[in-house]
Chain A
Amino acid sequence: MMLQLLPEFAALGALLILFFVTLGNNVSDRAARWITLALSGFVLVAAIAAQDQSGLMFANSYKLDTYSQFFKILMAFGLMANALLGWPLRSVPTAQRSEYYFLFFAAGLAMMLLASAFSFLVLYVAMELLSYSLYTMVGMRRARTESIESSVKYIIIGATASAIGLFGVSYIYGATGSLNFGALIDSLKGTTTHSALLMPGLVMVLSSFLFKLAAFPFHAWAPDAYETASSPVAMFLASVSKLAGIAFLFRLVYMVKPYMPEFETVIGILALITMTFGNLVAFRQTSVKRLFAYSSIAQAGYLMLGMIGFGDSAPVAVVFYSAIYLLMNLVVFAVVLELERYGEDPTLASFQGLYKRNALMAMALLVALFSLAGVPPLAGFFGKWLLFSSAAQGGHIWFVAFAILNSVLSLYYYLFLVKAAYFGDVPKEAVSLDKGGSRIAILVTTIAIALLGLYPRVLTEYLTGLNFPRSLLP
């Protein structure tokens, strides 16, 4: 069992180590960061080591399969990247920085649990662990009262969403007599007429995930949280924490949709509303972090559309896009963080003349933005191709047409940033961005985005080899 749950134990161990090491505040910020980096590397190694594990555990409520294990690798990679790039925690009071690293791993552990959850109970516990860690992380930026405000907003929306979800679970329990996913699917398989409780129950459970993904109509916390939280936290929210929601939601959708076509339509419509809303509202933003909050709302919409794709191709599409979504957001926020070293909360104006202040970062930003907009030949294009073609194959060509229109819309605000970074001159008061920073990490990630677009085979063939459809269906 120890070996099977290696990544989870590694995350738990990391959490405990950090807890004891940082007890009493005698560890410097720098040391804590290095310890975190080392431990997250250890978690990544553990996740890779456990990639072939499979099986049902703990009374069929916890499932290891190629899908969950691959997501754990992605999450561990995301944690490590966050530990590497998401630094320094300038706006978090010194006394609390060690707690940040502790919460960092608590959230990491919860995400891994979510990837494997196979019962509504595990799901709920993991969800709450993740949410509470994130609430606290968002509220850590004491110097800005809005940070507390958005944390409270986050808690209220989050609590509402989990209450609704929990209520939905009670319906499902009433309909099937079990909290286990296997039992849910068995009861779906048996009959063509489902209990009247099932559909409302599922939709309510769905809503708690829409909250995690910041999908419409549970998106309202995201813009405030991204904007007012300390930037490394925003990076964490935008990149790795989304993976957990995606990982679990897709598992549920994938299992349920063959038996309940109407569930598919619900997700499809919500996906469209989510992406349209995210894209349209992003137009008007001047704060860059807020803009990316809306952009990531829209991105969640594309992913949801891929979730209702054709059975054999949807899993690879969703996982591939999740992976590159992670990369793109890491690059974008790494650039934001660099800019933030010389003044807080970047606006569109702070990107002015970036090409002259630091050509590498301007280029990384350009690549990441075009990739987010889904422009060939970058990875984002190929990811969208997989998502959309899978949805089209599943018979949703109209949804796809609408989603493509959305991608074009999104280019509009991504171009704002490109414009700021490349047109015009450097403002006089701007500081040089010549030294320090995570140049190499940014460069490597950017190259990965470009290469995955030109040669996506590297990843898609590996993912196809993992045979997700078989491991996802019970």
Chain B
Amino acid sequence: MTIPILSLIILCPAIGVVLLFFVPEGKEKIVRGIALAVSIIAAFLSVWMYLAYDRAAAGFQFIEQYAWMPGLNSTYHVAVDGVGMTLVLLNAIVMLTGVITSFSIDFRVKEYFILFLLLVTGVFGSFICMDFLLFFIFFEIAVLPMYLLIGIWGSTNREYAALKLTIMLLAGSGLVFVGLIMTYFASDVRTFDFITLRDSGGFSPSFQNIVYPLMFLGFGTLAAVFPFHNWSPDGHVAAPTAVSMLHAGVLMKLGAYGVLRYGIELFPQGAVHWGPVAATMAAGGVVYGALVAAQQTDLKYMIGYSSVSHMGLVMFGLAAGTPLAINGAVYQMFSHGIMTALFFSAVGFFYEQTHSRNINEYGGLARKVPWVATCFIIAGLAGVGLPGLAGFPAEFMIFMGGFERFPVLTLIAVPSLVFGAFYMLRVLQKVFFGPEAGFTPKVHDIGIFSGSARVLLAGLIILFGIAPRLLSDLIAPYAMELLK
């Protein structure tokens, strides 16, 4: 018998949720211990699966399928291909580092970790479910805990941000829900099974042209596609550190994943038809995000808007639809996920000590906290696409691939990166170098345990920058397959 590794991965955080319910109030050490234990196990299983994935065979692997709703032809069907594998790995990493970062949460700890793990369960489920209905259910489980997580443990303007985020994301999933119903009844096969729908759905081109925009906008809202991005910077800023990490690191990728899987793969002709519109929106996000990020003095807002810009790149790659661009888009999902997780975790570290995120109130931090500063600088440089770090191969592939199909838009989007680089370097210079200023004297260096999360993330950025084949071996066969 083979080990049901995918089910085990979902079960880790799910069991964590159940266990936490039974931990008596006030036993915070036990709560943190359980959360850490399940995330270590999930990370271990994900890495194991990453190593065991048969790269030569490609395609869907680790398949499990059980009956769930036979009347509707919906099954519990889990499997991963190159994309799913990449994102599961990303989620496991962000979950582990997020849990470590969350150790500084000091009130309502038990509820916090219950919601946190619930969210992670939803994300894992969405990445590996090959059943549209079940995917949608997991998708919502991933989105909703955000409301409470931001509303209770958040900071600046949290109630507003939580409400705005929830309503916008739910409106997005409303569109997906309409698309889900239409897909089900328009297909020749009356099933929710993704693979069957993709291979023998028999969707007419005119139907695809109607449904694709629903999927693109519905999932695109979660991926913060311009102009439906404005929940995201507010949400990032208000959320507690680890939730920002998960949110920018993984949840937004879930949106892009939805567009890829249930938009482009299911309705390829619709995707081609709407390609120019999608690409324009995405390129708009790239430019807009970069320009607005440059105006910010709040570090979190700056990262929030640069996330909009980076997710714009992902969407641009998806819209371009060439193998290279898709390859780059998926790579960017992973590298941006790790990069923002690191960003937010570093900013959170400063904020916890000084309660300020204002760029002008810091200076010369590099001498004071060399480890965190180094991590932040690595993330910043990866963000501007410095070769040798994980952002570079992704952006390179997106632009190379995108240029084939949308040369003009690509040429518009590229300069914003240069602009972003210029600005990022200025911020790094101001905050980390130069004379000690503002709150800097109050900042103390980080502990080994909590520092380990940042160092892990920074190490991965370097690793996947130097050896892009570690991921592109997984993604490239998928992208080639997709084009057929």
Contact = CB atoms under 8 A, between A and B. Distances in A.
Nearest to A405: B174
A434 interface: no
22 contacts: A355-B111, A376-B136, A376-B141, A377-B140, A381-B137, A385-B133, A389-B181, A397-B181, A400-B181, A404-B174, A404-B178, A408-B167, A415-B147, A419-B159, A419-B163, A422-B148, A422-B151, A423-B159, A457-B70, A457-B71, A460-B71, A464-B71
A388 B167 contact: no
Interface residues of B, number: 28
A401 B210 CA distance: 13
Interface residues of A, number: 30
Contact of B182 (A392, A412, A418, A423): A392
B364 to A, nearest CB: 38
Nearest to A384: B177
- 7 nearest A-B pairs in the assembled complex, by CB-CB distance: A376-B137, A376-B140, A404-B174, A377-B137, A408-B174, A392-B181, A408-B170
Contact of A415 (B70, B141, B163, B171): B163
Contacts of B151: 419, 422-423
Contact of B170 (A392, A411, A423): A411
A308 to B, nearest CB: 15
Contacts of A381: 137, 140
A397 B144 contact: no
B152 interface: yes
Interface of B: 68-71, 111, 133, 136-137, 140-141, 144, 147-148, 151-152, 159, 163, 166-167, 170-171, 174, 177-178, 181-182, 184-185
Nearest to A401: B178
Contacts of B68: 457
A355 B140 CA distance: 23
A256 B140 CA distance: 38
Contacts of B181: 385, 388-389, 392, 397, 400
Interface string A402-414: 0011011001100
A370 interface: yes
B152 A423 contact: yes
Interface string A374-403: 011100010001001100110001001100
Contacts of B185: 389, 392-393
Interface string A168-183: 0000000000000000
A311 to B, nearest CB: 14
Contacts of A376: 136-137, 140-141
Given A376-B137, A419-B151, 10 more contacts: A375-B170, A376-B141, A400-B181, A408-B170, A415-B147, A422-B148, A422-B151, A423-B151, A457-B71, A464-B71
Contacts of A422: 148, 151-152
Contact of B177 (A377, A404, A419, A423): A404
A407 B174 contact: yes
A400 B214 CA distance: 14
Nearest to B136: A376
A51 to B, nearest CB: 21
